[in-house]
């Protein structure tokens, strides 16, 4: 299975966010049903890693992804963009056949 990568911009922003949280806090990325295109990405803070979680470290950034979500995210890159629309995390997902304009939901 292709792994998930984290861009340098995203790692820097995640590290900045985690530095304001209690020690041991990690960013959890998951995929849920819903959103305007069928599935949506969800970002949460988590202090608990489960046995099945994929743990990704890049510099000071620590990301958790559960196995079910990983099936939808294989080969994806987590990026952080700051453009006219605003600043946000974006998942560049090669598995997505369609996505919404805001970039938070996708279809397979």
Domain ranges of the chain: 5-98
Topology of domain 5-98 in CATH is Hypothetical Protein Aq_1857; Chain: A; (2.60.300)
CB 64 within 8 A of CB 53: yes
Q: Residue 98 CA to chain centroid, in angstroms?
A: 18
Residues contacting 101, CB < 8 A, separation 6+: none
> Does 102 score more than 70 pLDDT?
no
At 13-62, the pLDDT tens digits run: 999 999 999 999 999 999 998 766 678 899 999 999 999 999 999 999 99
Indicate the pLDDT class of residue 96, thresholds 50, 70 and 90: confident
Give the span between the Cα atoms of 11 and 95, in whole angstroms: 22
User: What are the distances in angstroms from CA 66 to CA 33, 36, 69?
Assistant: 15, 22, 5
């Amino acid at each position: 299975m292709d792994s998930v990568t984290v861009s340098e911009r995203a790692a820097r922003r995640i590290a900045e966010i985690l530095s304001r949280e209690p020690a041991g806090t990690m960013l959890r990325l998951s995929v849920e049903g819903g959103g305007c295109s069928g599935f949506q990405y969800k970002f949460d803070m988590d202090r608990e890693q489960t046995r099945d979680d994929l743990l990704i470290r890049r510099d000071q950034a620590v990301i958790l992804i559960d196995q079910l979500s990983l099936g939808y995210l294989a080969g994806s890159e987590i990026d952080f963009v700051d453009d006219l629309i605003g600043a946000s995390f974006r998942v560049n997902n090669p598995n997505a056949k369609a996505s919404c304009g805001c970039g938070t939901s996708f279809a397979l």
